[in-house]
Amino acid sequence: MARILITSAIPYINGIKHLGNLVGSQLPADLYARYMRSRGNEVLFLCATDEHGTPAELAAAKAGKPVEQYCAEMWAVQKDLSDGFGLSFDKFGRSSSEQNRRLTQHFAGRLADAGLIEEVVESQVYSHADGRFLPDRYIEGTCPNCGYDKARGDQCENCTKQLDPTDLIEPRSAISGSTDLEVRETKHLYLKQRSLRGELQAWIDSKTDWPILTTSIAKKWLNDGDGLQDRGITRDLDWGVPVKRGDQPWPGMEDKVFYVWFDAPIEYIACAKEWTDALGRPDDDWERWWRTDRGADDVKYVQFMGKDNVPFHTLSFPATIIGSGEPWKLVDYIKSFNYLNYDGGQFSTSQGRGVFMDQALEILPADYWRWWLLSHAPESSDSEFTWENFQASVNKDLADVLGNFVSRITKFCRSKFGEGVPSGGEWGPDEEALIARLEDGLAKYSAQMEAMEVRKSAAELRALWVLGNEYLQSAAPWVVFKEDPDRAAAIVRLALNLVRLYAVISAPFIPDAAARMLSSMNTLDTSWPDDVRAALGALPAGHAFAVPDVLFRKITDEEVEDWKAKFSGRRT
């Protein structure tokens, strides 16, 4: 049994996330977590809300609420939506937690003691219209590298280049749109990342199994002439982790907070402490997941994120951990994703364009979305959501293949043998051939899941569903029954067991439907089919079952047209 630590990128607190956000981190992380649990591994799957900084302050002000109240309410909303999509977090925490505050201040103190923090007088943008300094993310302009006209002051989303606000061409306030900006001097703390270049280089070079997307972004940032820079870790804001050196005041920093990109990743660690506290476990139990001197050296740590988060997770967060000089667990594998676009354009939170998580669940159950998103995950390149493609995938894969198989065999058995697994008959060459094909297909499916190849895993799973339909069509128990009821019983008995097998192996993708399949088969047996022959005898003759309701209904052309119009612009 392996021990596997899984984290997905921490979502901002300011609003409900769209499907592009979901498939870029949390959903594939859940797929991997569910699969690894099903294979008997010890898994700790963590996520949290990213609650500090200007995004939270502005969203709270817009809502007319204190920022603490707003964050608490939005955490509950995001938690409900994650539950609605079946995201199986062991802990969904908050970066505003007391544990994260203490750990962030602890890391800052350790870095300062190591000589890796320096005070820098920097030029920062002040907006007269807004009456405040503007954090990096709230300054927009044209990227000097690629010409993208909506680049943010910390990073260009188009080319992923790390930026400072003063690098932008024709900068403007993302809050008010004002160009009445002034550069003023202010003092901040900087993490001396360049001092850690050698350690970061050696660590990144050792990760020869990382996806090309992850490695290319990490090495580009590390090796470009202006790639790895010392990075400010404090901001002139009210809401955030107060700047302290451990538990001691930091002179000159009394009115500042730590930069959200410094404290947010530390919540991955803090979240584990919150998890053990909630379970009433010993105070140091969480450390066996995070400290290599307490047992974390045998943990495999996997992160899931969109490509825009890769630089911070391959450079800045590792710099914090390495620079602390303490034996914290570094990530072993980073699964990164490109962008999911929406129907000829981009998902847009600001414009309300595309499907958001709450809206998705209002029109269809989570498994419909889980299947499409995972089977079209933007791994090797950006992918695009279209309603026509969504309709085709749901109707052909879920309704016509898996749903049809379950419906046909359960209804046929009820009509000819009753609601119990029939006895009689023996397996023949058709069944032996099917078992061989299932064994081969399961091996391929497992290999792709182990490798975190999401789309390929979905394709292999669908191919396994197809085998059942092909077997039923070829064996034709409805025809055989007229001449040889015992032979028909053997076919049906195998097929009903195949329903249970499909439920088990499909659960990482479509957990709700899998649970319904198991319920209809009247079994709690979720053991992985390592031995296919034995698995196809798990439900013995006489075992009672029930015909389930329709697993997946088909999406109509009329619904597609209605949804295309509904989700083309701003949310109402």
Structural tokens at position 357: 């998580």
| Chain length of the chain | 572
Q: In terms of C-beta distances under 8 Å and separation of at least 24 residues, what long-range contacts does 183-186 make, across chains too?
A: 183/123, 183/124, 183/125, 183/126, 184/123, 184/124, 184/125, 184/126, 184/133, 185/121, 185/122, 185/123, 185/124, 186/121, 186/122, 186/124, 186/133, 186/236
Give CA–CA dist 193/179, Å, rounded: 32
Would you state the structure tokens that stand for residue 450, as one six-digit string?
Answer: 């182990």
Q: What is the DSSP letter of 529?
A: -
Give me the numbers of helices (H) and strands (E) for the chain, helices first please: 23, 19
CA-wise closest residue to 34 among 462, 516, 454, 537: 454
φ and ψ at 419, to 5 degrees?
-95, 60
List, in sequence order, the alpha helices (H) in 451-546.
454-475, 477-483, 485-506, 511-520, 532-535
Give CA torsion, residues 189, 160, 226, 194, to 10 deg: 40
Give the H or E element holding residue 172. Answer: strand 169-173
Q: How far is CA 485 from the centre of its chain?
A: 49
- What are the binding residues? 143, 146, 156, 159, 349
Ramachandran area for residue 337 (φ above 0: left; ψ -120 to 50: alpha; else beta): beta
Q: Which helix (H) or strand (E) holds 169?
A: strand 169-173
Binding-site annotation: residue ranges for ATP: 349
The gap from C-alpha 471 to its chain's centroid, in whole angstroms, comes to: 35
Please tell me the chain's helix, strand, coil percentages from 3-state DSSP, rounded to the nearest 5. 50, 15, 35
Q: Which of 219, 238, 237, 269 is nearest to 102 (CA)?
A: 269
* Residues annotated within a binding site for Zn(2+): 143, 146, 156, 159
